[in-house]
Structure 1
Amino acid sequence: MNKPFLKAYKYRIYPNREQQVLIEKHFGCARFTFNWALALQQSYYKEHKKILSRKEIQDQLVLLKKTPEFEWLNTVNSQSLLSSLLHVYTAFGNFFKCRAEFPKFKSKKIQQRSYQCPQHCTVNFASGVLNLPKIKEIKTIFSRQFDGKIKTVTISKSATGKYYASILVETEVNLPVPSIIEVDKTIGIDLGLTHMLIQSDGDKVENPRYLKKAQKRLAIQQKIFSRKKKEAQNYRRQKLRVACIHEKVRNQRLDLHHKLTHKLICENQATTYAVEDLGVKSMVKNRKLAKSISDIAWGQFLTLLKYKAEWYGKNILRIGRFVPSSKTCSQCGYTMEKLPLHIRSWSCPDCLSVLDRDLNASMNIRNFALADVLGQFSTV
């Protein structure tokens, strides 16, 4: 039986001058509504020690739009404003459930902007246009087509001034049943800095270090940018040049992650992948390694690997972040008391095996994950 399945498609859009003005109005109104609702929730919570319900916030927004001072809120899609209210309500709920930090106000100075259209959005693949409430026939490059019901459309603008549309589509598909976990078809994956990816079968992927390669060019452009006067035309131009370098690094990294995860999931005989639950937020507090860890983006890689494995019926196993995968000998199980990070290979005092630190860690990740799932310790 097919089940509802949500999948997002992101496209580049090319609005004309009039459409850009309307999109910018939506950005501003959505940001204002979010900040207004957040301030309202904060003041109400301080006074009553509880938060307003969604309906109570919506009723106050309706009254606000009727006042002459804020009648400009009626020029944009009302459903987009309600989406901003929902975001505030969800953010407070996540905070009280200890799933996220306390919500912050949105700044007008941040170049990346977005707003949502939850209803009345259509696409025309033949004409290459996207229709939104208040904004019709936006030129769109549809790199691929989809079948299904459009749930929401999120319009965003990057720091370099490019516009995108992320379309969330609900389709009726039959996802494959996850494969049976087999020892000989399980691969352990260790994520590192020297090598980005180390597999238990011996394959290694070099870390391209995209940010480090762009650092010299970025430093020059940032130095020029620091000398410009704010609000000047040259200031905005130089700010765009710096943003273009960062965007290129991000696109290079994302492209690599997509290619690696596709190769692992679709071009591999393995059906199960064992990874380590990394505490990236804690790791980037190390000031000596923070830039390198952020550059390699382990969290993004694991996110892509997880949802692609779900699409193709593969399994993802995780081991705890405090499991001594690097300090344990994969041959005999002996655990070292200390193993500094600069030691890349070491000899086991028990079985005298010479071990590569990263390869040994990937084999242990595989073994520990199988032990948790199958109830046995396997070194096959």
Structure 2
Amino acid sequence: MENIEPFSDSSVKNSMRAYKYRIYPNTEQKALIAKHFGCSRHIYNWALSEKDKHYKETGKSLSKRQLQDSMAEKRTDKEWLTEVNSQSLLASLAHLDIAFSNFFQGRTKFPKFKSKYSGWQAFQSPQHVTVDFEQNNINLPKLKGIKAKLHRPFTGKVKTVTVKRCPSGKYYASVLVDNGVVNPVPATIEPENTIGIDVGLTEFLIDSEGNKTKNPRILKSSLERLGAEQKKFARNKKGSGNRAKQKRKVSKIHEIVANRRHDFIHQVTAKLAVKNHATTIAVENLNIKGMIRNRKLSRAIQEASWGMFLRVLDYKCRWNGKNIIQIGRFQPSSKLCNCCGYKAESMALSIREWDCPVCKSHNDRDINAAHCYTLSA
């Protein structure tokens, strides 16, 4: 039982929900949005440089408050910083503070400088934002009446709005809303209402009831077209208009692949967390970072997006009052017979089905692993 632990803290009462909308700014709004991108990026890079320089000189770190005071003086010297929303600049300092917290806690690497040539650009407006569903627009400080496709209504208090421009040139607004809804209390863990799931490459998902979901291999089906467009992009002259157009074509293919992958994962997780009878789901604690070091399977593992699948499944289970628990990665599963408990000493990865020498039962490797997760829970 020491190998079992909750996937996340389900007791946390989180009433925040995020809604992503496509926005259609006009020419003037695009120019002002670009200024917000540039100024937010400039403040982030400046603050990162100041913190690094101050630490090398004194051995101490600059606090967020000290950076805010220095930024006020900086805005006086550089008038172009006053053309954008000051709260967006303060949000950049908050993001840098979070980046350093994640670094010191071992979750990420040391923060890097942001590039204006990066495909994704973003800025955040943490205050004085409104969403008008009647007029179908979003109002931000200094950016009023941005047309948006508000396809999903919501109720609650708008906390922040993050405006993003993706590599293909499309604009999106992510609206964070506090709707006051508290996650339901998780159901009691009962063996008869527990299923185990195992993920794979040929079959994306296998559960303990014998159901299998085929891996769509979305990236693999687009590699030929992507390779042709990337070859054209590599032959374009750097700095030319044709190269910029071709870059957007390549970005659109990547965007289509990502959107199809997100759609597939949301459909699969909805079936498990919403439509499934089970109230507890047992999954393996996968070492995905270690697995992608295998150069022969690296692309296939990353294409499967197991990490995204488990993350989405986790919050959907919390929203629906279900439990998701993870089983230790070193606990025997596929080599262990779920009927009699016999454990095979070794088994090649190519063996997908095997017969137990003790109870003579015929076991499917993946379904057997899912069964073992259920028994461990």
TM-score (norm 2): 0.94
Q: Aligned-pair distance for 1:353? A: 2.6
**1:374 corresponding residue in structure 2:** none
1:25 corresponds, among 26, 31, 35, to 35
Q: Aligned-pair distance for 1:46? A: 1.6
Give yes or no for contact 1:159–1:240 (8 Å, CA) kept in 2: yes
User: Which amino acid in the other structure matches residue 6 of structure 1?
Assistant: M
Give yes or no for contact 1:152–1:167 (8 Å, CA) kept in 2: yes
User: Which amino acid in the other structure matches residue 242 of structure 2?
Assistant: N
Give, in whole Å, the separation in 2 of the partners of 1:314 and 1:127. 38
Deviation by residue 1:103-162 (Cα, 9 ceiling, x = unmatched):
111122111111110000001100001000110000011111111111110101111111
1:136 corresponds, among 144, 153, 161, to 144
Give, in whole Å, the separation in 2 of the partners of 1:287 and 1:170. 43
Q: RCO greater where, 1 or 2, for CA within 8 Å and sep 6 or more?
A: 2
Correspondence 1:66 to 2:76: yes
SS in structure 1 of the partner of residue 180 of structure 2 = strand
Q: Aligned-pair distance for 1:267? A: 1.3
Give, in whole Å, the separation in 1 of the partners of 2:128 and 2:206. 47
Give, in whole Å, the separation in 2 of the partners of 1:122 and 1:14. 16
SS in structure 2 of the partner of residue 275 of structure 1 = strand
Choose 285-294 or 325-334, whichever is displaced more: 325-334
1:289 corresponds, among 297, 312, 318, to 297
2:346 corresponds, among 327, 335, 338, to 338
Deviation by residue 1:82-102 (Cα, 9 ceiling, x = unmatched):
111111112112222223211
The 5 A counterparts of 1:44-193 are 44-67=54-77, 70-193=78-201
SS in structure 2 of the partner of residue 196 of structure 1 = strand
User: Which amino acid in the other structure matches residue 315 of structure 2?
Assistant: Y
SS in structure 2 of the partner of residue 270 of structure 1 = coil
1:37 corresponds, among 43, 47, 50, to 47
User: Which amino acid in the other structure matches residue 275 of structure 2?
Assistant: E
Give yes or no for contact 1:10–1:167 (8 Å, CA) kept in 2: yes
Deviation by residue 1:21-42 (Cα, 9 ceiling, x = unmatched):
1111111111111111111111
Choose 133-142 or 324-333, whichever is displaced more: 324-333
Correspondence 1:266 to 2:243: no
Q: Aligned-pair distance for 1:338? A: 2.2
Correspondence 1:9 to 2:19: yes
User: Which amino acid in the other structure matches residue 218 of structure 1?
Assistant: L
**1:277 corresponding residue in structure 2:** 285
1:364 corresponds, among 347, 364, 372, to 372
Give, in whole Å, the separation in 1 of the partners of 2:375 and 2:285. 15
SS in structure 2 of the partner of residue 358 of structure 1 = helix
Runs of 4+ in structure 1 over 6 Å off: none
Give, in whole Å, the separation in 2 of the partners of 1:253 and 1:213. 12
User: Which amino acid in the other structure matches residue 45 of structure 1?
Assistant: Y
TM-score (norm 1): 0.93
SS in structure 2 of the partner of residue 190 of structure 1 = strand
User: Which amino acid in the other structure matches residue 296 of structure 2?
Assistant: K
Give, in whole Å, the separation in 1 of the partners of 2:103 and 2:55. 13
Give yes or no for contact 1:284–1:290 (8 Å, CA) kept in 2: yes
Give, in whole Å, the separation in 2 of the partners of 1:210 and 1:21. 35
Give yes or no for contact 1:327–1:337 (8 Å, CA) kept in 2: yes
RMSD of equivalent CA atoms: 1.3
**2:6 corresponding residue in structure 1:** none
Give, in whole Å, the separation in 1 of the partners of 2:117 and 2:334. 44
Q: Aligned-pair distance for 1:204? A: 0.2
Q: Aligned-pair distance for 1:7? A: 0.6
Give yes or no for contact 1:4–1:171 (8 Å, CA) kept in 2: no
Give, in whole Å, the separation in 1 of the partners of 2:95 and 2:182. 31
User: Which amino acid in the other structure matches residue 71 of structure 1?
Assistant: E
Structure 2 CA distance for partners of 1:157 and 1:348, relative to 1, 3 Å: same
Q: Aligned-pair distance for 1:4? A: 6.3
Give yes or no for contact 2:14–2:183 (8 Å, CA) kept in 1: no
Give yes or no for contact 1:224–1:238 (8 Å, CA) kept in 2: yes
SS in structure 2 of the partner of residue 172 of structure 1 = coil
Give, in whole Å, the separation in 2 of the partners of 1:75 and 1:94. 31
Structure 2 CA distance for partners of 1:348 and 1:48, relative to 1, 3 Å: farther
Give yes or no for contact 2:203–2:214 (8 Å, CA) kept in 1: yes
Deviation by residue 1:229-253 (Cα, 9 ceiling, x = unmatched):
1111111111111111111111111
**1:303 corresponding residue in structure 2:** 311
1:205 corresponds, among 203, 209, 213, to 213
User: Which amino acid in the other structure matches residue 40 of structure 1?
Assistant: E
Give yes or no for contact 1:83–1:118 (8 Å, CA) kept in 2: yes
Give, in whole Å, the separation in 1 of the partners of 2:123 and 2:346. 50
